[in-house]
Chains A and B, each alone.
Chain A
């Protein structure tokens, strides 16, 4: 069989991949002139914006979702009946429609747009980071674009194999990016740490995925869901409890608490426990990506060791990819098993936000604080998935969109300040007097992250999540999150106050070039402009994220409109 490929559907990742190759070639052949570094950055930026243009055009196109890499209806998975440990139920393969590996629907477009916009900001930050000339520039942009390819194709993936490949495509370049500052021991340590944790979690997840495949005989998410659903039906009727049938069939339609209870019972008895094991293993794999407890320990060291653009990438793009994958697997494939995974997710969410916030309380370094705070924010994003309601996914995505703008904004200012003054929280003292725009911007982003006016974006994001939890009946989770919001406010406001506090040493009137890390020495060699070069792209990045955050504060509906109601393309 020959598959036809819809090149329009895969245009975004394709453009990114081509530009990645182009950048690598240009780096090899361009003469070593001062303009080469910014030129490569601009080409990368153009590629990212081009991909973004494609995504926007796909979004404006409307109509049915684009699908490609499809398996036609008649063609079931290979040797369907032979492999499955579950009995083949009523010919699901015959009933199955065409299943596609790559679907561009509302869900895909939101995540792709988010990732590409964040990618553009990260490229801008990279241009500042690379201005000093210690890091190989071609490799950097190549790896960055590769990670973006993975992050853009991941939300479009509708089969397990593609999902895992895309997820690895996001992860692998990040190890190298982290370690690209070769002479920095902290960066190498961070890269090794990231690599080890990631590989272990990938292995765990692959085990879970293979169990699911072994049970159902398919890797397509929609068929997986169907098989699990029909097996449930069958085993219910088979076990001679016809009175329970209506309850099981009507999950979601019937009274919610009732249905959840019965389906919980039936799943634990009627589906083999191995499905539960597989679900737990898959969740564990994704929990690493989003730095959820108990896989959070890497966050602070890696964020601090990595260059700041990479830390920003980890905290937004890598995290968005992780959440996209998690939501795809949980909602699209295991939607009917919500009773199994929802309590697990709820507990993980509660632990994640608590651990992240408590650890952030004691930090004195800006990036470490952001690392733990982004762990805590992961908890808030996970929380709606912990209640069994259909719209929960929308709340998670909405929070993620708000979070991306706020957190990237904070990282842009941190980038600016760390190059000039240093990375400790006390270096932010009096920032608003030195550079009012950056100071006010950072204060705004922090207040947004804390979720208080005038940072209305953060407030509305939290309201969306709270609303979903309260609506879904997760009272204890709402209480935990309420307490966590207060804990979070403490460290955000402590940082924000430093921005407005007068400088402790009044003599330090100038740009304060003394207290910067060892990497600055190279910049000093290449010219006095080392600290000032690269301010422009960071300024653009601050302005961009600031505008988005303000827009989300004034008209949060724009962000809420982006959120898809359901997977239109999952069949």
Chain B
């Protein structure tokens, strides 16, 4: 028994439980305490994850480390079996990092800053509930990556549903209710199918231990059972990933979710689906995988093309990024479909890269939406680089990373996936996968196209005053009528400042916050807390882009063990 994985789960859980205790403090001090609490708990979790990464034995990443195996429900063969190896460790760290950054984003900003959901507002935005929900979400996400028992994996897989539902349904945009319902019903349907697949595996092999099942490479299951189980498990995971044509919940959920919801949804929740492929579907059911791989590859490249074309047609920035996720996940799935170590490594790399890049993209898009009051690209006008130079540069950087510029993290996942498709596993039709590779390459070009088109529309050109300050004031999420207006340095909002005493202070302290001067149109450029949340992502994107081996060295031995390759 090892305490580290248990602590990784216990820390956010205890933090959430502490919030349940009734407290009768006045609103202001409770608000501060709450922010400190959220930041501290997610910080402790992140530190634990870093300790996990630091003490991980890199000499033997294929071995399951920090293993904890306790009996929980003997009646169901369900064991509390946790552990990490080379493919789960990066995801655990990524999850803890993104959650921590979300809290940094939420907590460190000034009360008047955009997107500060943790500030009590007149409409009642319930900061305490948000912190509680995010912490429970973190438990589910980390648990999914730690679990080594099929049913335990499923339980954690389900844990995220309800918190994410509430994040979208309570703190989301205008059409949040419908989007949240669509999200939870769709993903639950996937989960139930996944459960049936897992139970079929259990019924055939009599064990739920993922390590033993992966070692057995499908022995004990007939070919047809493996195919059925792979299809069931695959559908369940593909809904989460999401794979075309099971993706339709994703654009709505991403568009309506608040910034932190979008970041966690894209950065971590989607990874749970792809992680399931790497951890369960492919190693446990190799025959089924071999049988279904051409279909998986075909759907993956359709997803790539479909996502890219859909992106070209979008007007809404967040919706466009959501569709771009479908395209990127198509590359990840294509990597899995090749069933080669190269492809699966590419998929795992693409997974992490997508989490970092799309997390950053959603952060930036959320910041834009909060400033302009809209994410509608024609309404944004253009000329962001001259209006908000820092924000515009960050958007450009994130988009360039996402379209796969060599030297940034997005490149390796796509390139290696296409390389894997060039030489698929023996037994798979090579001409077919060559066709997939060609189509995927076309998709990569289209990806570049839509990001560049978007950048030319939004960041370049002359700034036009399409959005006015009153719109900004009305755009404060679910805030009520007397929510503090964005306290612009410009003349527009000066009259609104009386609603909130802090408004004046913030105007004075703005320079210290970011150094971003408010130029043109009275919008504030990148602020300190935003920068604090984004810089780690930028650095990691650069790191993995320049030194992909850092990640591949950890995942590759595990992948080779799983694939039975030397």
Q: Quick check: B76 and A471 within 8 Å, CB to CB? A: no
Q: Quick check: B76 and A470 within 8 Å, CB to CB? A: no
> A-side binding surface: helix, strand, loop or mixed?
helix
Q: Quick check: A460 and B73 within 8 Å, CB to CB? A: yes
Q: Quick check: A466 and B189 within 8 Å, CB to CB? A: no
Q: Quick check: B158 and A459 within 8 Å, CB to CB? A: yes
> Do A557 and B162 contact each other (CB < 8 Å), given the known contacts A453-B155, A456-B155, A463-B151?
no
Closest A residue to B200 using CB positions: A470
Q: Mark A479-513, 1 if CB is under 8 A from B, else 0.
A: 10011011001100110010010100000000000
Q: In the complex, what distance in Å separates the CA atom of A482 from the CA atom of B197?
A: 12
A252 CB-CB contact with B under 8 Å: no
Distance (whole angstroms) from the CB of A310 to the closest CB of chain B? 32
Closest A residue to B197 using CB positions: A470
Q: Quick check: A453 and B169 within 8 Å, CB to CB? A: no
B309 CB-CB contact with A under 8 Å: no
A560 CB-CB contact with B under 8 Å: yes
A residues less than 8 Å from B506 (CB atoms)? none
Which among B180-188, B280-288, B314-322 touches the partner chain? B180-188
A residues less than 8 Å from B129 (CB atoms)? 500
Q: In the complex, what distance in Å separates the CA atom of A557 from the CA atom of B189?
A: 26
A residues less than 8 Å from B184 (CB atoms)? 489, 493
Q: In the complex, what distance in Å separates the CA atom of A482 from the CA atom of B124?
A: 37
Q: Quick check: B189 and A497 within 8 Å, CB to CB? A: no
B451 CB-CB contact with A under 8 Å: no
Distance (whole angstroms) from the CB of A506 to the closest CB of chain B? 10
> Do A486 and B192 contact each other (CB < 8 Å), given the known contacts A460-B73, A557-B74?
yes
A197 CB-CB contact with B under 8 Å: no
Q: In the complex, what distance in Å separates the CA atom of A335 from the CA atom of B264?
A: 52
Q: Quick check: B76 and A466 within 8 Å, CB to CB? A: no
A467 CB-CB contact with B under 8 Å: yes
B residues less than 8 Å from A460 (CB atoms)? 73, 76
Q: Quick check: A453 and B202 within 8 Å, CB to CB? A: no
B117-155 contacts to A (CB < 8 Å): 124, 129, 136, 140, 151, 154-155
A551 CB-CB contact with B under 8 Å: no
B356 CB-CB contact with A under 8 Å: no
A185 CB-CB contact with B under 8 Å: no
B36 CB-CB contact with A under 8 Å: no
B170 CB-CB contact with A under 8 Å: yes
Q: Mark A439-455, 1 if CB is under 8 A from B, else 0.
A: 01000000100001110
Q: Quick check: B76 and A482 within 8 Å, CB to CB? A: no
Closest A residue to B170 using CB positions: A500
Q: Quick check: B196 and A478 within 8 Å, CB to CB? A: yes
Closest A residue to B72 using CB positions: A557
Closest A residue to B228 using CB positions: A475
Closest B residue to A481 using CB positions: B192
CB-contact partner of B188 in A479, A486, A494, A556, under 8 A: A486
Q: Quick check: A486 and B136 within 8 Å, CB to CB? A: no
Distance (whole angstroms) from the CB of B188 to the closest CB of chain A? 5
Q: Quick check: A483 and B189 within 8 Å, CB to CB? A: yes
Q: Quick check: B192 and A482 within 8 Å, CB to CB? A: yes
Q: In the complex, what distance in Å separates the CA atom of A500 from the CA atom of B129?
A: 10
B453 CB-CB contact with A under 8 Å: no
Distance (whole angstroms) from the CB of A502 to the closest CB of chain B? 6
B203 CB-CB contact with A under 8 Å: yes
Q: Quick check: B181 and A490 within 8 Å, CB to CB? A: yes
Q: Quick check: B203 and A486 within 8 Å, CB to CB? A: no
Closest A residue to B74 using CB positions: A557
Distance (whole angstroms) from the CB of B504 to the closest CB of chain A? 30
Q: Quick check: A493 and B165 within 8 Å, CB to CB? A: yes
Q: Quick check: B136 and A454 within 8 Å, CB to CB? A: yes
Q: In the complex, what distance in Å separates the CA atom of A376 from the CA atom of B185?
A: 18
Q: Quick check: A560 and B158 within 8 Å, CB to CB? A: no
A561 CB-CB contact with B under 8 Å: yes
A-B contact list, 6 entries, CB within 8 Å: A459-B155, A459-B158, A466-B196, A466-B199, A470-B203, A497-B169
**Given A454-B162, A471-B199, A563-B75; 20 other pairs, CB 8 A cutoff:** A452-B161, A453-B155, A453-B159, A453-B161, A463-B154, A467-B203, A470-B200, A470-B203, A471-B203, A482-B192, A482-B193, A485-B192, A486-B188, A486-B189, A490-B181, A490-B185, A500-B170, A502-B124, A556-B76, A557-B72
Interface set of B (CB-CB < 8 Å, partner A):
20, 22, 72-76, 124, 129, 136, 140, 151, 154-155, 158-159, 161-162, 165-166, 169-170, 181, 184-185, 188-189, 192-193, 195-196, 199-200, 202-203
